[in-house]
Amino acid sequence: MPKDTGIGASPKRREDVRFLTGKGRYTDDINVAGQAHVVFLRSDVAHGTINGIDTAAAEAMEGVVGVFTAMDFDGVGGIPCGWQITDREGNPMQEPKHPILAEGKVRHVGDPIAAVVAESVSIARDACEAIEVDITSLPAVMDMKKAVQADAPKVHDDLTSNLCYDWGFVEDNRQAVDDAIKSAAHVTTLELVNNRLIANPMEPRVAVGDYARHDDSSTLYTTSQNPHVIRLLMGAFVLGIPEHKLRVVAPDVGGGFGTKIFHYAEEAFCTFAAKQLERPVKWTASRSEAFMSDAHGRDHVTKIELALDADNNFTAVRTETYANMGAYLSTFAPSVPTWLHGTLMAGNYKTPLVYVNVKAVFTNTVPVDAYRGAGRPEATFQLERVVDKAARELGIDPVELRRQNFIREFPYQTPVAVEYDTGDYDATMDKLLEMIDRDGFEARRKESESRGKLRGLGINCYIEACGIAPSKLVGQLGARAGLYESATVRVNATGGLVVMTGSHSHGQGHETSFPQVIADMIGINEDQIEIVHGDTANAPMGMGTYGSRSLAVGGSAMFRATEKIIAKAKKIAAHIMEASDEDIELKDGKFTVAGTDKELAWGDVTLAAYVPHNYPLEDLEPGLEETAFYDPNNFTYPAGAYACEVEVDPETGFVEVLSFAAADDFGNVVNPMIVEGQVHGGLAQGIGQALFENCAYDEDGQLLSASYMDYTMPRAKDLPMFQVDHSCATPCTHNPLGVKGCGEAGAIGSPPSIVNGVLDALASGGHDVGHIDMPLTPAKVWAAMQGTGGTGDGTAHARSVGGPAKNV
């Protein structure tokens, strides 16, 4: 019988009732009395010198409250970067200033130049058009390999070059890796692009700044995945507002996918302008603004080499990656191609030697930062593609080649710093093969061929590191923040609980799954437990939700706080029942004394805590409220095996995904339905990256895919029914719930499945194509079949952002 409550049950998501009936309270639903509206004037050129800005006409317009340019931010800090990378020579990365409004230069299409605050959005828009900006265009820096050459124009004139950092990992392994590759029996080389993506949460970004004259305090309502982080970054580094005078509220948030982690200029602007003007200031991004101002994702150009010995054991992996930072460093941008990418390059395999080189480059494009998976999809894609290519070159079964090199002993210390605590890669592969009926594939392929179609089977593994992160470790790696999580559990007199968590739900279903944990611990109904998040005024300092960390880190903090609650409640119960603390048991919401028939209900004890008439006041404070901060001592390492079958129409290059199976190991699972939903969403985005999504710029830095007319989001019709399994569970060894993150796995593991599958299909039709860069649009697949569009043989473009000319 499936459970209907507690851990392992799948109650429907309680938050969906308000989301689906239009009762959600999103940031744009917040209107503060007297608010004015801001519209930003954004650059329409990628790179240029600002000679002058004439705002006189705009200021004179009726209904305009204020017009701001960079001059108004004298003495205000730039948008800070939260992670500092140290390069191969031991020097800190180059870190340019990121002003709230462009200072002296514009550096990408969409860079805000000026802001108009007015009585209405349309007045502000009219006034923006009345601003005259004199800009001298400069050559756009777009091609990462050209950008790091000595004579390249510079995005930031005060930096020595466009190179943010040149990172080597592990630098001490470099020589040994080079030697291993030289002496290898076989080396498979692959050059590829990890395409730039735009996150496209359904809800665009919104910010409402409010200032209270009576106590000189500021409030920012914002679409954020981590309000405390925004409070700290904006308060301390940008505006100089102490945290006790600044409240940040992130109410219902309609999807984040990473792009709402970061502190954005518009948030600082609204908070700043509200105080300057003593009026609330609201900004709601248009979809067009979202395309050119939300941090983008991915955008790596990589060469990877896999060395094998004569018995097909992996002996070394060497990679060289150019990682696009865009025009400025977004909050966690430097960490994505380094610590979230290099540390995963061992994958599921016992490759003894790994060397990862990453050159992070400034270009005249929107800043690039974490997007669902962040670094781990890039690592998984190149590794699982090169392994598949090696299998094809060596004429061996791609599954067997992987199995032969699987890590089987845990804990396993990789050559790239991280230690996998647990896993069973054979189990998920076995499960996958059972799910996909591999033996029946040839018959299915023949059936496709009878209809003139080419059928392919793509299989791959993945491992990822999430549940970020041990603060001490990330501190050593350059993080300027800790990555613990917090929870306050407040038990009310009548027995109900409120959990104030530092995690933030923007689609993950915390309001449903978190109470399942506590319900099990105490033995009460889930509906007695309320989850509160997203407001710095009530939750303890928390780090928010990203990196598949909510349950593993935030859930663990809640677990620890609840343990403290139970320990105290037992003391109260012991006092009332005149027993010893150690003899008290809590089960099904009842306290009992071992060996007796004495019992007290949960509510009797919680009432006693607040009406302490019969209470050990000399030993115990009244009340029942506890806070815990949980700092994990390792990442969690979800892993699995994915497969898809695709059909290629050889006449058009069109790819149809016929089936997709995912066998994941997420450790213990609290709510299987929510986990399945998370995997579905991740798969949709991974398949989106592989087949559809492409953020493309032209040579001049104009964003070509600037709307849904050109940026292809995956739709339900494009996706098969997913087969999802998470029965192969090896519980995490170091968090109290034994859980691993599940939010990003689908997006991490699925792109190589699709590309492997399409290349397998093409090979069956006699087309020996080494690689095709994502997205595998019909035009690209068809061109590859004609021998004109394939890549992977040293021809990967130096920019992952292709214009219309050649790289369609």
Partner 1 sequence: MYNFELVKPTTLQDAVAALKDDDAQALGGGQTLLPTMKARLAMSDKFVALSGVAEIRGICTDDDGRICIGGGTTHADVAKGATDYPALASTAARIGDPAVRNRGTIGGSLANNDPSACYPAAALASNATICTPDREIAADAYFQGMFETALEEGEIITEVKFPVPQKAAYEKFIQPASRFPLVAVFVAKFSDGVRVAVTGASSDGVFRWSEAEAALSDNFSAEAILGLSAPSSDGMISDLHGDATYRAHLVKVMTARAVKAAI
Burial class (CB in 10 A: 0-12, 13-18, 19+), 709: exposed
Q: Does 120 bind partner 1 (CB under 8 A)?
A: no
Alpha carbons within 13 angstroms on the beta-carbon side of residue 93 total 31
Least distance (Å) from partner 1 to the CB of residue 367?
22
What letter represents residue 502's amino acid? G
Least distance (Å) from partner 1 to the CB of residue 651?
5
Q: Does 764 bind partner 1 (CB under 8 A)?
A: no
Q: Which two tokens stand for residue 108?
A: 């990408």
Least distance (Å) from partner 1 to the CB of residue 96?
30
Taking the least distance from each CB to partner 1, the nearer of 125 and 590 is: 125
Q: Does 702 bind partner 1 (CB under 8 A)?
A: no
Helix 745-764 to helix 672-687 angle (10° resolution) is 50
Q: Does 195 bind partner 1 (CB under 8 A)?
A: no
Cβ(153)–Cβ(139) below 8 Å = yes
What letter represents residue 189's amino acid? T
Q: Does 360 bind partner 1 (CB under 8 A)?
A: no
Q: Does 137 bind partner 1 (CB under 8 A)?
A: no
Helix 602-610 to helix 556-576 angle (10° resolution) is 80
Helix 376-394 to helix 745-764 angle (10° resolution) is 30
Q: Does 787 bind partner 1 (CB under 8 A)?
A: no
* Binding residue for partner 1, selected from 127, 783, 784, 796, defined by CB under 8 A: 783
Cis geometry, peptide bond prior to residue 411 (ω within 30 degrees of 0): yes
Which 269-298 positions form the footprint of partner 1 (CB under 8 A)?
288
**CA pseudo-torsion sign 508, 381, 144, 800:** negative
Least distance (Å) from partner 1 to the CB of residue 702?
12
Taking the least distance from each CB to partner 1, the nearer of 200 and 357 is: 200
Taking the least distance from each CB to partner 1, the nearer of 103 and 649 is: 649
Taking the least distance from each CB to partner 1, the nearer of 653 and 792 is: 653
Least distance (Å) from partner 1 to the CB of residue 126?
8
Which among 581, 599, 592, 772 is positioned nearest to 691, based on CA atoms?
772
Q: Does 61 bind partner 1 (CB under 8 A)?
A: no
Cβ(48)–Cβ(105) below 8 Å = yes
* Binding residue for partner 1, selected from 10, 592, 694, 756, defined by CB under 8 A: 694
Taking the least distance from each CB to partner 1, the nearer of 91 and 122 is: 122
Which among 618, 616, 511, 602 is positioned nearest to 565, based on CA atoms?
602
* Binding residue for partner 1, selected from 394, 480, 778, 797, defined by CB under 8 A: 778
Q: Does 183 bind partner 1 (CB under 8 A)?
A: no
Angle CA 340–344–348, to nearest 5: 155
Taking the least distance from each CB to partner 1, the nearer of 7 and 121 is: 121
Q: Where are the beta strands (DSSP E) in 202-313?
A: 206-212, 217-222, 246-249, 281-284, 300-308
* Binding residue for partner 1, selected from 310, 709, 716, 721, defined by CB under 8 A: 709
Taking the least distance from each CB to partner 1, the nearer of 120 and 614 is: 120
Cβ(552)–Cβ(562) below 8 Å = no
> CB under 8 A: which stretch of 81-89, 317-325, 605-613, 704-712 binds partner 1?
704-712
Tell me how crowded residue 494 is: count the other CB atoms within 10 A of its CB. Answer: 10
* Binding residue for partner 1, selected from 125, 480, 564, 797, defined by CB under 8 A: 125
Taking the least distance from each CB to partner 1, the nearer of 46 and 553 is: 46
Q: Which two tokens stand for residue 759?
A: 């290349």
Q: Does 202 bind partner 1 (CB under 8 A)?
A: no
Cβ(337)–Cβ(323) below 8 Å = yes
Which residues lie near partner 1 (CB under 8 A)?
122, 125, 288, 651-654, 692, 694, 696, 704-705, 708-713, 777-779, 782-783, 802, 804-806, 808
